[in-house]
A = this chain, B = another copy of it.
Amino acid sequence: MLSALDLARRIEAGALTPAAVIDLCAQAIDAREAEIGAFVSLDLAGARRQAQVPGLAALPLRGLPVGVKDIFDTADFATEFGTPIYKGNRPRQDAALVALVRRAGGLVLGKTVTTELAFLHPAKTRNPHDPARSPGGSSSGSAAGVAAGMFPIAIGSQTGGSVIRPAAYCGVAGFKPSYRLLPTPGIKHFSVYLDTAGLFAASVADVAYAAAAITGRHLRVDHGEPAAPRIGLARTHVWGEASAAMQGAVESAAKAAAVAGARVSEPAWPPLLRDAFMAHPTIQDYEAYRTLAFEYDRHRDALSPILRGMLDKAAAITADDYDAARRTVKRARQALADLMADIDVLLTPSAPSAAPGPETTGPAIFNRLWTLMGTPCVNVPGLKDPAGLPLGVQIVGRFGRDHQALMGAQFLQQALADID
Contact = CB atoms under 8 A, between A and B. Distances in A.
B92 A86 contact: yes
A294 B99 CA distance: 5
Copies of this chain present in the complex amount to: 2
Interface string A90-108: 0111101011101100000
Given A319-B215, A319-B216, A319-B217, A94 B183 contact: no
Contacts of A180: 192-193
A84 to B, nearest CB: 12
A185 B185 CA distance: 9
A183 B216 contact: no
A290 interface: yes
Contacts of A189: 96, 185
A252 interface: no
A89 B89 contact: no
A105 to B, nearest CB: 12
A208 to B, nearest CB: 15
Interface in A203-248: 215-217
Contacts of A94: 293-294
A162 to B, nearest CB: 17
Max chain B C-beta neighbours (<10 A), residue from A98, A193, A319: A319
A293 B96 contact: yes
Contacts of A100: 290, 293
A287 interface: yes
Given A89-B92, A92-B89, A297-B103, A185 B291 contact: yes
Given A92-B89, A319-B217, A293 B192 contact: no
Interface of A: 75, 86, 89, 91-94, 96, 98-100, 102-103, 180, 183-185, 189, 192-193, 215-217, 287, 290-295, 297, 319, 323, 400
